[in-house]
Amino acid sequence: MFTSTNRSFICQQHIFLAPGLYFHADHSGIDYSALPPVLQKAHNQRLLKQYQLSLPNSRTPTLPATISGCWSLLPEVAWVLGIVLHAPPLPWWLQTSRYVVLHQYATHNALPQTLETTSPRAVLAGGAAQLLGCLTPFGSEYTVRASFMFSHAVRKLVDDVPAQTTLPWNIFEQACHAVGDN
């Protein structure tokens, strides 16, 4: 019998079984891409056990293709969301970003822009908090894994980000498309 859990697991097995593909070096500890396949598999098993990463169950929804298709790029998506959330005017180091158009869209459409920072790490943490919030309805199997895509320092800042209004889903999708297209 082919259930939706099986379908979810098969379609998104790289998310569930290969955390070495996308974990930040702070959590992975090695250059995953330099390992031969047999050692990659062993490393993934170690990460699953070390971080007690649960596998999907019958209640775990399947991620939309927009997200699963750019899963390993979610830190870049978080960066884009951090830019979108930055209150105008943007600091000089963000004004040249290829994602400034999404910030202009957010400003024009009166979306909540609450970040006021001069730190790239804080912009990333603000976007990461938003990203993890967007993943929450899909279950902890995803949010826990996604949190390990960020360095220890960024994860600590994410914990300190004040609760914010969640950006609309279409902004999250636009950020995924913008990252995937580049």
Q: Write out pLDDT tens, residues 55-72.
A: 888 888 889 988 998 999
Q: At what angle do helices 169-181 and 74-85 cross, to 10 degrees?
A: 120
Q: What is the pTM of this model?
A: 0.85
Q: Which residue has the higher pLDDT, 65 or 97?
A: 65
d(CA 98, CA 77): 12
Neighbours of 179 (CB within 10 A): 19
Structure tokens that stand for 17 in this block: 């079984």
pLDDT at 6 over 80: no
pLDDT tens digits, one per residue of 113-124: 666 766 889 889
